[in-house]
Structure 1
């Protein structure tokens, strides 16, 4: 019984480490964000592609 609890605890620790790693390993503050015009261009391209496909 103790072995099962130990294994479950180890699994929870691994899960917590994975969640912590993914939450705090994102972009650095020094990195520049993508300009708003680039996002707008992507939206226009998707809209144009949709028009061509219909």
Structure 2
């Protein structure tokens, strides 16, 4: 009877480890997908210089 309990305990532990491995693989796939699914040539280059007046504080009220 004790041998059946140990075997069942090992099976449950193996299923838990398999589930954790599956969750880890899904997480790695999601991170990989989001990192490398962007634009083909990277981010767009800014052609226009930022407005110099944007750095100056506005008129106080």
Whose helix proportion is higher, 1 or 2?
1
CA distance in structure 2 between the partners assigned to 1:17 and 1:32 by the alignment: 26
Q: Distance in 2 between matches of 1:25 and 1:53?
A: 44
Moved over 6 A (4+): none
Aligned pair count reads 48
Question: TM-score, normalising length from structure 2?
Answer: 0.56
Cα RMSD of the aligned pairs, angstroms, is: 2.8
The corresponding residue for 1:2 is 14
Rg comparison, structure with higher value:
2
> What is the rounded CA distance, in whole Å, between the counterparts of 2:32 and 2:42 in structure 1?
21
**Number of the residue aligned with 1:19:** 31
**Separation (CA, whole Å) in 1 of partners of 2:59 and 2:22:** 51
Q: TM-score with structure 1 length normalisation?
A: 0.61
Unaligned runs of 5+ in 1: none
Structure 2 residue runs of 5 or longer lacking an equivalent are 1-12
